[in-house]
């Protein structure tokens, strides 16, 4: 008989995502709760694909107003100036700190967009049962998971600028509606990344191929 590596699900075992305990649930359909940490067990995260899609669509909808609406309004002695995320980046660039401008551009504009594209790509390939470049897709997922929180940067920038510049009636900065949409994009994409189950990337592979084997041959 041929010996094959197995996944936990194929062997009827389930890994607790909270504490890492491997256990054999009594019922395959309802694995119940982890005997060690009492966390809810699941062979794969519940409705992972549908949930992640829903969150991505919601985030994509918020992405547009987040970039169009002003994130802050500066009032200086009667004159009012509205700043969007992009105009904030341009302002940083023109005042000479191009490296900070680049950081804000990457964190606020590029990372959220890249996350939406990356998660959609992962979902589509999983739904089509793709078995190609699994390792790269797994790495992409880990990157998305790691990098997501840095998009929150602009929310903090706005918060502290607003908090400090309250020198009425000379000068005051007020937050704009764009901040709310922008924060929504960040939160929705972070939750989307958490609801995607990376194990789905590997589930379509019929035979388990190991990277170590590939390198040897």
- Please, which of residues 18-77 interact with other proteins by CB under 8 A? 18-24, 33-39
The interface with other proteins within residues 79-118 (CB under 8 A) comprises 88, 91-92, 95, 97, 100, 103-104
Q: Tokens standing for 65?
A: 């107003």
Q: Which is nearer to other proteins, 116 or 187 (CB)?
A: 187
Q: Which is nearer to other proteins, 46 or 142 (CB)?
A: 142
Instruction: Tell me the longest C-alpha to C-alpha distance in the chain.
Output: 84
Q: Tell me the HSE value of 156 on the side-chain side, using a 13 A CA sphere.
A: 7
- Three-state DSSP class for residue 97: coil
143 counts as binding other proteins under rule CB under 8 A: no
Smallest gap from Cβ 34 to other proteins, in A, equals 7
Short-list 138, 148, 142, CA closest to 115: 148
Alpha-carbon torsion angle 36, 41, 43, 45, nearest 10: -130
Looking at the DSSP bridge assignments, the partners of residue 81 are 74
Q: Tokens standing for 100?
A: 């900070």
d(CA 177, CA 91) in angstroms, rounded, equals 19
How many chain residues interact with other proteins (CB under 8 A)? Answer: 81
Q: Which of 110, 121, 139, 143 binds other proteins (CB under 8 A)?
A: 139
Q: Which is nearer to other proteins, 64 or 171 (CB)?
A: 171
180 counts as binding other proteins under rule CB under 8 A: yes
- Contact (Cβ atoms closer than 8 angstroms) between residue 154 and residue 104: yes
Q: Which is nearer to other proteins, 59 or 158 (CB)?
A: 158
Q: Which of 66, 116, 126, 179 binds other proteins (CB under 8 A)?
A: 179
- Contact (Cβ atoms closer than 8 angstroms) between residue 180 and residue 113: no
d(CA 103, CA 94) in angstroms, rounded, equals 15
Smallest gap from Cβ 202 to other proteins, in A, equals 4
Helix (H) or strand (E) holding 113: helix 111-127
156 counts as binding other proteins under rule CB under 8 A: yes
The one segment of 60-68, 113-121, 122-130, 175-183 that binds other proteins by CB under 8 A = 175-183
Smallest gap from Cβ 63 to other proteins, in A, equals 16
């Amino acid at each position: 008989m041929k010996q094959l590596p197995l996944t936990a699900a194929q062997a009827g075992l389930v890994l607790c995502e909270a504490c890492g305990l491997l256990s054999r649930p009594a019922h395959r359909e309802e694995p119940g709760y982890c005997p060690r940490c009492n966390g809810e067990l699941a062979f794969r995260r519940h409705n992972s694909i549908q949930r992640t899609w829903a969150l991505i669509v919601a985030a994509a909808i918020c992405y547009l107003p987040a970039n169009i609406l002003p994130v802050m309004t500066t009032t200086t002695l009667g004159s009012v100036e509205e700043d969007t995320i992009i105009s904030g980046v341009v302002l940083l660039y023109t005042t000479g700190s191009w490296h900070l401008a680049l950081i804000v551009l990457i964190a606020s504009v590029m990372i959220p967009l890249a996350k939406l594209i990356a998660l959609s790509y992962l979902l589509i390939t999983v739904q089509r049962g793709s078995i190609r470049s699994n390792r790269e897709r797994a790495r992409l997922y880990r990157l998305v998971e790691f990098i997501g929180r840095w998009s929150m940067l602009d929310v903090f920038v706005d918060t502290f600028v607003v908090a400090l510049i309250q020198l009425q009636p000379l000068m005051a900065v007020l937050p704009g509606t764009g901040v709310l949409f922008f924060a929504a994009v960040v939160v929705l994409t972070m939750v989307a990344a958490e609801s995607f189950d990376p194990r789905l990337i590997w589930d379509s592979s019929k035979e388990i191929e190991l990277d170590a084997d590939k390198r040897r041959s």
